[in-house]
Homo-oligomer: A and B are copies of this chain.
Amino acid sequence: MSALPGSPELPTAAFTARIQAFRERIEGVLDRALELPDAGTSRLREAMRYSVLGAGKRLRPTLVYLTGESLGAALTVLDVPAAAVELIHVYSLVHDDLPAMDDDDLRRGRPTCHRAFDEGTAILVGDALQALGFAVLSSEPMAGTAAAARLEMLRVLAGAIGTRGMAGGQAVDLAAVGNRLSVSAVEDMHRRKTGALIECSVLLGALAAGVSGAAELGALRRFGAEIGLAFQIQDDILDVEGDPALLGKSIGADAAHAKPTYPSTAGLAASRLRAAELRDAAIASLAPFGERGAALAQLAGLMVSRVS
């Protein structure tokens, strides 16, 4: 994830270094979570590692780390929810790429899991990554975190990825191919399919930091929901007008799949306005946190001004 040099929301060098450090950190955490000497078969183990490691923006772990650290959590504690959300995110990518879903051959510049291995293995990779996400979040050490807080994290995660959230959004997406949707239906689809796990990532960071007040959690929930939708609208925009060299993938995939997107429904200009409006609403919801919200506001800017 990077912004064009000279763009108005260009992040500070210190901020860029901080999120780069989170990215390097989560690679190590994921690598350890995927050691799996008991993965059933070496093929399943390799396919899980292939799918998770070595690529990806790691936006969701970054949100966990940045939210949690801003609110006072230790990075060693944040490693656990950060890994959980990324494992769940990758499971969803592996299954979305399957022939019966989006039928994609490339992901992050490499063959998709079912192309590099086989379809049965890719189904199992997704299934096992979902279970591993819950195993990590329920079992890995989180020093000083009460059982009740951890249970709440599991509740938030399970709620975010089920029918009300990610899986439901994918069902809407699958049904929408070739159809025209209203702008609000596209927003609902994006809020579920992408937004729910982004919102969850913010909440998990806050819960790991011991935030428990309804007002504070509500404000962070709004931040996550608004910036999650903005992020997906920007994703749709980049699929129309992005630079393939910067994105590391070809553009036009949504149109090729006949997928309703924000730009295809509302137009490009309205999409840019909506993303900026959502970013501003997200940043406004950080007001109760004062200076503690500054880093998240900076990330929100980057999530919308990004060119990759």
A307 → chain B closest CB, angstroms: 31
Dominant SS among interface residues on chain A:
helix
**Given that A41-B175, A162-B132, A192-B40 are contacting pairs, would A167 and B127 also be in contact in the complex, using a CB cutoff of 8 Å?**
yes
Copies of this protein in the assembly total 2
Least CB separation from A175: chain B residue: B41
Number of interface residues of A (CB under 8 A): 56
Query: How far is it, in angstroms, between the C-alpha of A43 and the C-alpha of B172 when the chains are bound?
Result: 10
Q: For residue A148, which residues in chain B have a CB less than 8 angstroms away from its CB?
A: 147
Instruction: Give the residues in chain B near A157, CB-CB below 8 Å.
Output: 134
Cβ contacts A123-147/B at 8 Å (1 or 0 each):
1101110111011001100000011
Listed in ascending order, the chain A residues whose CB lies under 8 Å from chain B are 36, 38-41, 43-45, 48, 91-92, 95, 98, 100-101, 118-124, 126-128, 130-132, 134-135, 138-139, 146-148, 150-151, 154-155, 157-159, 161-164, 166-172, 174-175, 192
For this complex, 15 residue pairs linking A to B, each with C-beta atoms less than 8 Å apart, are A41-B175, A92-B127, A95-B127, A98-B123, A101-B123, A123-B123, A127-B167, A128-B171, A130-B131, A131-B163, A134-B154, A135-B158, A139-B155, A146-B147, A147-B148
